[in-house]
Amino acid sequence: MIAESRLRNAVQVLSSEYIPGKLPLSRFLNQWFKKNRQMGSKDRKILSSLLYDHYRCVHLLSDLEPEDQLLASRFLLNNDDAILIAELKPTWVSQMSLGFNEKLTLLQTWYSDLTPHPIFPFSEYLSTEIEKDAYVSSYLRQPWFFLRIRNGYDEEVISCLEKHEISFTRVSTNCIQFTNQTRIDFLADECAGLTEVQDLSSQLCGTYFNPVEESSWWDCCAGAGGKTLLLADIEPNVRIYASDYRESVLENLRERILRAGQRARKIFQTDLVHGVNLPVADLKFDGIILDAPCSGSGTWARTPEMLASFESSTIGRFSDMQFTIACRVIDYLKSGAPLIYITCSVFTSENEELIDRLLDTGKLVLEKQEYFKGYGRGADTMFISKLIKV
């Protein structure tokens, strides 16, 4: 039976092949599909959906065996299933349109050994600014896919999308959203350098930058460069320095900057935790962006597999690392210049408590801070704080 084969593939991946936290699930699946080219597009889509549904409910249904976890999560998170549920659990089909809580109650009657656990077992660490129920509920839905349009090119990009009859929602002049299944590969050729894939909350971080012409800014944990490119779009004549401890992501950043027709004064590898390969001592910046390494908890609706591997003991380690990095880069700020501290975390110790620790150094004063709460908008949730060097 087709359904049994699909379920076996999913169980095989869960039991013997995929290790949560070692590799993003999306990247693992890309590699797995290359090794299993006999699978058709529909089989690939269903396998992906089964696995993502499983990880959204990985703690909730942890009492069940893998096969039953996969079927129960499929039942909970979908309103219809033409093959899998219909073939393997035909008595469930008439209940598919019920709400989540009603379905969960039914599952408890069908599985006597099921005692539901919290979907999100780390609530005690949440910031008080985060609405717990709304945030936790966001794990049950895949966030939107967002695209940022570079300044001045919105008409050209929108026209291209309409020509290809692509459905989208325009969030703002420069931001559009799609379902995650939307294919927009053609933009790479027809609108080369005019768009960047960037989550809505990440785009909103640009409202804190306010660079002026010919000012010098350092994106000190740049990663693949989303904030670097956003900064350059806001002020094309800003002098940008960008660094990261991973040379591989810096290569990606160099390619993205070149494709966008932008430039950086210097892109370099550095280890800010151990103070290796820092900027020259007399270099002072008009602004520093610290998109700090963090738990990533504000993005787990997009990567629910992280729920399976995360341990609360790592939160403190992240906080200490963030404090070390922030203290190290403060000395490279001019007096009166901003440190823009950003995380994609929802945990207090990585955000508000970390800011309090920085303020206690006496080197910074707080101008403003907030959460960009993506869980109500199908986006990631991010924390941002603007601190001014004394």
How much of the chain is in helix, strand and coil states, percent to nearest 5? 45, 15, 40
Residue 26 identity (one-letter amino acid): S
Q: Is 380 helix (H, G, I), strand (E, B) or coil?
A: coil
Q: Which residues, listed in sequence order, are joined to residue 269 by a DSSP beta bridge?
A: 244
pLDDT at 2: 86
Cα separation, 163 vs 100, in Å, equals 38
Cα separation, 260 vs 147, in Å, equals 14
Neighbour count for residue 205 (Cβ, 10 Å): 22
Scanning 57-172, the segments in alpha helix (DSSP H) are 66-77, 84-88, 100-110, 132-137, 154-163
Residue 377: phi and psi, rounded to 5, are: -130, 10
203: enclosing H helix or E strand: helix 200-204
This prediction's pTM: 0.95
pLDDT in tens, the chain (390 residues): 788 999 999 999 998 889 988 889 999 999 999 988 888 888 999 999 999 999 999 999 999 999 999 999 999 999 988 778 999 999 999 999 999 999 999 999 999 999 999 999 999 999 999 999 999 999 999 999 999 999 999 999 999 999 999 999 999 999 999 998 899 999 999 999 999 999 999 999 999 999 999 999 999 999 999 999 999 999 999 999 999 999 999 999 999 998 888 888 999 999 999 988 888 768 999 999 999 999 999 999 999 999 999 999 999 999 999 999 999 999 999 999 999 999 999 999 999 999 999 999 999 999 999 999 999 899 999 999 999 999
pLDDT at 233: 94
Q: Is 147 helix (H, G, I), strand (E, B) or coil?
A: strand
The answer to whether the beta carbons of residues 325 and 363 sit under 8 Å apart is: no
Dihedral Cα 122, 127, 129, 132, nearest 10 deg: 10
The answer to whether the beta carbons of residues 243 and 218 sit under 8 Å apart is: yes
pLDDT at 385: 98
pLDDT at 199: 97
CATH architecture of 145-197: 2-Layer Sandwich (3.30)
The answer to whether the beta carbons of residues 174 and 148 sit under 8 Å apart is: yes
The answer to whether the beta carbons of residues 166 and 184 sit under 8 Å apart is: yes
Q: Where are the domains of the chain?
A: 2-117, 145-197, 200-389
100: enclosing H helix or E strand: helix 100-110
Cα separation, 213 vs 211, in Å, equals 7
pLDDT at 70: 96
Fold designation for 200-389 = Rossmann fold (3.40.50)
Residue 156 identity (one-letter amino acid): E
pLDDT in tens, 341-386: 999 999 999 999 999 999 999 999 999 999 999 998 999 999 999 9
Q: Which residues, listed in sequence order, are joined to residue 276 by a DSSP beta bridge?
A: 271
